[in-house]
Chain A
Amino acid sequence: MEYVIEMLNITKKFGNFRANDNITLQLEKGEIHALLGENGAGKSTLMNVLFGLYQPEEGEIRVNGKKVNVTNPNVANDLGIGMVHQHFMLVENLTVTENIILGNEPKKMGVVNIKKAAKDIEEISKLYGLNVDPYAKIEDISVGMQQRVEILKTLYRGADILIFDEPTASLTPQEIHELIAIMKKLITEGKSIILITHKLQEIMDVTDRVTVIRKGQGIGTVITAETNPEELATLMVGRQVTFKTEKIPPNPQGEVLKVENLVVTDNRGIERVKGLNLSVRKGEIVGLAGIDGNGQSELIEAITGLRKTKSGHISINDQNITGMKPRKITEAGLGHIPQDRHKHGLVLEFSVGYNAALQEYYHEPFSKNGVMNYSSISEYAKKIIAEYDVRTQGESEPVRALSGGNQQKLIIGREVSRDPDLLIAALPTRGLDVGAIEFIHKRLIEQRDNGKAVFLISFELDEIMNVSDRIAVIHDGKIVDTVIPAETSEQELGLLMAGHSKSDQASNHIEGNEIGGGHDV
């Protein structure tokens, strides 16, 4: 069997820490090969080694049987290796085209020939069905779009070995749907793919083989057809993992969050939330299902006081919090797990301890008449680290050095420990491994069982279905319907999210296809 890529006994150290410890990975021509492992297991590191960003201490890399020395990304590009990084490598204020051609720009008399570039890009995107606007600025396009740009970057350079590092982590179901189609297309075009993902179902659906690593060590490679999600989970975590988190039936009490005819505009002054009504009660988890960009972000920011409301009312425990300062709202009983943990959730330069106290630092016991009490803060941090199993050197380690998975656990620990009456969790499991997801879901349900209200925003329908007691579907800034998980299907949700009320269920077949690409319009 011929391998296009062979990574043999790779060891990569950071200081004395072995991020990769003698890992072997072999990629067959024309296969989609999954690389599976917990957060911080060493997947990105291994791929960065292959892409020439890191130099391994030991082991060798072979491309088409030939030993190669990938000293930097240029070499990788020349070898036809392209990588879609976990954290996009895109220059925000440049256009799609500029990002793609960067580094080998088509020229006409010394001037960048944008027209030609754009044309070439459009051709490639047609060929693989990646539709993008070549003249759009990165900062203005959706995450899904940005991902396509990343893919186009590799294709434009004629890569035939593609590495996808957690491509689906930040995509909506529809976008994932398309990405999978794209990957299949790539394979038929003779490319080979390494796919990193934490979503076992995806692995089952698209991959041919799976290589599992745990804590930097290779566990082995299995053929997808001969395995199942449970086995994979066990392999990577090293213990049994339950998927369908079982929970006792809810007994909702009085309303905690009440939103009435809320209207919110975005930075450009365009209405994103258009007279929205919503309520979340004690002891229930309400899931907000919807396609990205239908007003979810604006809704959350309005509730948390980070964005002015244009009209309408928001109240927590019958206390009107409309237009209040964020801190007042937090004190009114709100906890918030923000969508973008690096931008809004954490101060990366601060230690784990400081971040643990980021919401509470200003009152006792953490500070008294303006003077901080750091010892009590580290006590508190230690507690959270232990309770929420945050993997870190200690509470004084900078958060930057934690894996995103653990960064996420820290935020959840921080917010849940405050025991808020209302917990808003926005995409709480994005980018996390199944173990971590299971853990976080348990916590959310615990909150609800303790009679708290939980408001869960997620693009993952199965997460919504699994965890929520009620599902509110948002479309175009309004709640189009509220359904009970047991009484609905992903199908139906999909339709509702696409803006169809129950009435026109009849014609769901045609709609069915529409859902696919429908969301970019």
Chain B
Amino acid sequence: MSFLEVLYFIIPTSIAYAAPLILTAIGGVFSERSGVVNIGLEGLMVMGAFVGIIFNLAYADVFGSWTPWIALLVAMFVSAIFSLMHAVASVSFRADQVVSGVAINMLGIAIALFSVKMMFDKGQTDFIQHKIPRVNIPILQDLPIIGPMFFKSVYGTSVLAITVAIIAWFVIYKTPFGLRLRSVGEHPMAADTMGINVTKVRYTAVIISGGLAGIGGAIYSQTMTGDFGHATINGQGFMALAAMIFGKWHPIGAMGAALFFGFAQTLAISAGSIDIDFIQKIPTVYFHILPYALTILALAGFIGKANAPKANGQPYIKGSR
């Protein structure tokens, strides 16, 4: 492939890869900005991926080509409800937020697989007929260079992910809720003395993270696999967690980090097969680890350490200092 062709392949693929991570990572941003650590993202994604497929299969003939989109909404809804468990445990029960997260992860996959067994009497669902399509954006797609890079055969969900990132930025930094969210995650007692209901804010944040992770999972299953099984979601939740930290708990940053992962992965996939002799000679393992090594290098290159929200992980207990 020519260099441009490589770009025309790498860029859209990276974005497609990143979309689910972006949404999930931003979910994490909401949760942790409110002071609730959320390593349950993986489990929430699983739930979303599962619900997305199930709904898609069940209602394909009702909603036709709209099915995958409505499936995203349903997945969002269900995962949001599922995330309530994490909220109750870590906000109301003052459970250790990390353990609660681990439990969410175990529970998510277990419930999903069990339901699959019950419904299909086998280990994975059937294949959906209405996957999330790729579209060519009129006019823009004809632009030289950036046309094929960004506007030819793109997923609507990639656009959605980027839009959500921008909205999230707006909500967190421009609206009263965002202001309260940030204050609760930094100094809940101060927020409390200002008459803010810390518990309510944290619940909301966790539920939002559940919803976004749900969409993320549903996007993944409806673009990448087309069915749901035990291995559909494995590790994406943790990559999203990494993206969130990499992005310094900032929605746009998280998006950037996710895109970077996508880029690194795609690069590794393509690099291996460039028909240059010495590249062909490189053992494949180096290409397998390339994305992760790149990420570490990128981090090392970043000056200034990422500061987690001060109250992250600590349950708020009135009257204690």
A and B touch in their complex, CB below 8 angstroms:
yes
Task: Show the binding face of A for B, using Cβ within 8 Å.
Answer: 48, 51, 53-54, 72-74, 77, 83, 85, 87, 89-94, 98-99, 101-105, 107, 110-112, 153, 400
Beyond A73-B195, A92-B187, 20 extra complex contacts between A and B, CB < 8 Å: A51-B193, A72-B192, A77-B195, A83-B193, A89-B190, A90-B190, A91-B186, A91-B190, A94-B183, A94-B186, A101-B179, A102-B183, A102-B190, A102-B194, A103-B191, A103-B195, A104-B195, A105-B179, A110-B175, A112-B175
Contact B193–A91 (Cβ < 8 Å): no
Contact A90–B196 (Cβ < 8 Å): no
Q: Which of A73, A107, A400 has the most CB of B within 10 A?
A: A73
Nearest 3 pairs of A and B residues by beta carbon: A103-B194, A89-B190, A74-B195
CA distance A153 to B190 in the complex (A): 11
Contact A91–B176 (Cβ < 8 Å): no
- Give 1 or 0 for each of B182-215: 1 = CB within 8 Å of chain A CB: 1100110111111110000000000000000000
Task: Please count how many residues in chain B sit with their CB below 8 Å of the partner chain's CB atoms.
Answer: 22
The residues of B that contact A87 with a CB separation of less than 8 Å are: 321
Contact B193–A89 (Cβ < 8 Å): yes
Contact A90–B175 (Cβ < 8 Å): no
Partner of A89, one of B179, B187, B310, B319: B187
Q: Is B180 an interface residue (CB 8 A)?
A: yes
- Give 1 or 0 for each of B157-188: 1 = CB within 8 Å of chain A CB: 00000000000000000111011101100110
Contact A89–B174 (Cβ < 8 Å): no
Also in contact, A103 and B180, with CB within 8 A (given A53-B193, A73-B193, A83-B193): yes
The residues of B that contact A99 with a CB separation of less than 8 Å are: 190
Partner of A53, one of B179, B186, B194, B319: B319
Contact B186–A92 (Cβ < 8 Å): yes
Contact A85–B174 (Cβ < 8 Å): no
The residues of A that contact B176 with a CB separation of less than 8 Å are: 105, 107, 112
Contact A102–B180 (Cβ < 8 Å): yes
Partner of A102, one of B175, B191, B318, B321: B191
CA distance A351 to B178 in the complex (A): 38
Q: Which of B175, B183, B321 has the most CB of A within 10 A?
A: B183
CA distance A91 to B191 in the complex (A): 8
Contact A111–B174 (Cβ < 8 Å): yes
Task: Supply 20 A–B pairs (Cβ within 8 Å), ascending by A.
Answer: A48-B319, A54-B319, A73-B192, A73-B195, A74-B195, A89-B193, A89-B194, A90-B190, A91-B183, A91-B186, A91-B190, A91-B191, A94-B179, A94-B186, A102-B179, A102-B183, A102-B196, A103-B191, A103-B196, A111-B175
Also in contact, A85 and B193, with CB within 8 A (given A53-B319, A107-B176): yes
Contact A91–B182 (Cβ < 8 Å): yes
The residues of A that contact B179 with a CB separation of less than 8 Å are: 94, 98, 101-102, 105, 112
* Nearest CB in chain A to that of B187: its residue: A91
- Min CB distance, A120 to chain B, in Å? 16
Q: Which of A54, A72, A400 has the most CB of B within 10 A?
A: A72
CA distance A85 to B183 in the complex (A): 17
Contact B318–A53 (Cβ < 8 Å): yes
Contact B193–A94 (Cβ < 8 Å): no
CA distance A111 to B170 in the complex (A): 9
The residues of A that contact B178 with a CB separation of less than 8 Å are: 112
The residues of A that contact B194 with a CB separation of less than 8 Å are: 73, 89, 102-103, 153
CA distance A73 to B318 in the complex (A): 11
* Nearest CB in chain B to that of A90: its residue: B190
CA distance A72 to B199 in the complex (A): 14
Contact B189–A89 (Cβ < 8 Å): yes
The residues of A that contact B321 with a CB separation of less than 8 Å are: 87, 400
- Min CB distance, A406 to chain B, in Å? 15
The residues of A that contact B195 with a CB separation of less than 8 Å are: 72-74, 77, 103-104
CA distance A90 to B183 in the complex (A): 9
CA distance A292 to B48 in the complex (A): 55
* Nearest CB in chain B to that of A103: its residue: B194
CA distance A93 to B195 in the complex (A): 19
Contact A94–B182 (Cβ < 8 Å): yes
Contact B174–A112 (Cβ < 8 Å): yes
The residues of A that contact B180 with a CB separation of less than 8 Å are: 102-103
- Min CB distance, B252 to chain A, in Å? 17
The residues of B that contact A111 with a CB separation of less than 8 Å are: 174-175
**Interface of chain B residues 50 through 100 with chain A (CB within 8 A):** none
- Min CB distance, A167 to chain B, in Å? 16
- Min CB distance, A341 to chain B, in Å? 14
Q: Which of A51, A111, A153 has the most CB of B within 10 A?
A: A111
- Min CB distance, A108 to chain B, in Å? 10
The residues of B that contact A90 with a CB separation of less than 8 Å are: 187, 190
* Nearest CB in chain A to that of B191: its residue: A102
CA distance A72 to B318 in the complex (A): 10
CA distance A99 to B318 in the complex (A): 20
CA distance A349 to B178 in the complex (A): 32
CA distance A83 to B193 in the complex (A): 9
* Nearest CB in chain B to that of A107: its residue: B176
The residues of B that contact A92 with a CB separation of less than 8 Å are: 186-187, 310
The residues of A that contact B175 with a CB separation of less than 8 Å are: 110-112
CA distance A87 to B174 in the complex (A): 28
Partner of B186, one of A54, A72, A93, A107: A93
- Min CB distance, A445 to chain B, in Å? 34
The residues of B that contact A72 with a CB separation of less than 8 Å are: 192, 195
CA distance A74 to B53 in the complex (A): 46
Q: Which of A74, A85, A91, A112 has the most CB of B within 10 A?
A: A91
The residues of A that contact B318 with a CB separation of less than 8 Å are: 53
* Nearest CB in chain B to that of A153: its residue: B194
- Min CB distance, A132 to chain B, in Å? 17
* Nearest CB in chain B to that of A93: its residue: B186
The residues of A that contact B193 with a CB separation of less than 8 Å are: 51, 53, 73, 83, 85, 89
- Min CB distance, A344 to chain B, in Å? 17
CA distance A396 to B262 in the complex (A): 52
